[in-house]
Structure 1
Amino acid sequence: MPQPLAATLTHLRVGNQTFLVNFYQEHRDTFAAWARQQHQLDPAAAHELLRSVLVEFYDQVADGRLTKLPADVPAHIYDMAAQQLKATSAALPVAEASRRSRLLGQFGQLSADCQQVLMFFYFRGYNFKKLAGKMGFANATVGRLQKASCLRRLYDLHQRVE
């Protein structure tokens, strides 16, 4: 018997990812067929997209951005995937694409912790208190200082290349 939606949401909030693992295993072939038909993705890319969307879904639940599971979870997941594909398919001018590519390479040279701090702050929109909690820092001030330090390292890497 499937778990009630409220229980599923509670399990996800406390870190139990069984629902997501089962969802992935049950839906990956159907999702790959949908991605091939709608977005011309090969199965490997479709599976990676599904994993990425499920991680984002989990983050939304864990962070409290999603407080109620949608009635049709597969449709919600497919919609998230379509939005993610739409966001990544926007064409950039060559100069901007080149600049972003260089910056991404420099970002990759940062430590894993610095990458995580900057991702949480700039891409997930975490405030310093939430950043400190996620990273295990003592308080929000330490989170702020760590973010500033990581951003300074990225800036220094960027200046060396320029």
Structure 2
Amino acid sequence: MNSSQQLAEVLTSLRIGNQSFLISFYEQNRDLFARWARRQHSINSAEAYELLRTVLVEFYDQVLDGRLTKLPPDLRAYVYGMADEQVRVARTTAVLPVAEASRRRDLLGLFAQLGTDCQKVLMYFYFRGYNFEKVAGKMGFANATVARLQKSACLRKLYELRLRVEQPAA
């Protein structure tokens, strides 16, 4: 069996809920990961183990919800990249001024009021950096123009929600 067949089998196994691959990956790589986390981010072993578990759960979620359609050829590098991003985000958001943190929390509350499709379109475009063609493919739209129009409509809905919150009741 070649490595691409093995990767496909792992992905299929994860999609049906078999987490044995992730458990094995964790057990085989946690000490190496802890050394890397200590060198790169000054994180102790217990925190590194927790970070690795969190990243593997996020990886599993990506597989289950279709964000990850093929297993990366270098899974270790992919997981370390995810962990690095999580640590950097945690450190940058931890120092937000109170007013900005409040604004972001309010905006997230409004975002949660949007429909699932609007949430996905905006996430794909703004947070994943997908172009309109890729958004169209992910969402099943006919073409990039439809994706662009949907994104505009979703932004308009978010803006209108914000206006309703900011305007005092008459």
Question: Which of these two proteins has the greater Rg computed from alpha carbons?
Answer: 2
1:18 aligns with 2:29: no
Q: TM-score, normalised by structure 2?
A: 0.68
Partner of 1:114: 118
Pick from 126, 134, 138 the counterpart of residue 138 of structure 2: 134
Partner of 1:150: 154
Q: d(CA) in 1 for partners of 2:111 and 2:159?
A: 10
The CA deviation at 1:98 is 0.8
Q: TM-score, normalised by structure 1?
A: 0.71
**Runs (4+) off by over 6 Å:** none
Unpaired runs of 5+ residues, structure 2, are 38-42
* Aligned AA (1:74): R
The CA deviation at 1:108 is 0.6
The CA deviation at 1:18 is 3.2
**Identity over aligned pairs, percent:** 44
* Aligned AA (1:86): R
* Aligned AA (2:117): D
In the TM superposition, what whole-angstrom CA distance separates every residue of 1:15-72 from its partner, at most 9, and x where no partner exists? x4436844322234564994883473785x753432224556884665xxx9x723xx
Kindly report the root-mean-square deviation, in angstroms, between the aligned alpha carbons of the 2 structures: 3.6
The CA deviation at 1:123 is 0.9
Q: d(CA) in 2 for partners of 1:81 and 1:103?
A: 26
For the residue of structure 1 that corresponds to 2:100, the secondary structure is: helix
For the residue of structure 1 that corresponds to 2:44, the secondary structure is: helix
- Residue-pair matches, total: 150
CA shift in 2, pair 1:39/1:127, >3 Å: farther
Q: d(CA) in 1 for partners of 2:99 and 2:81?
A: 31
Pick from 68, 90, 94 the counterpart of residue 88 of structure 1: 90
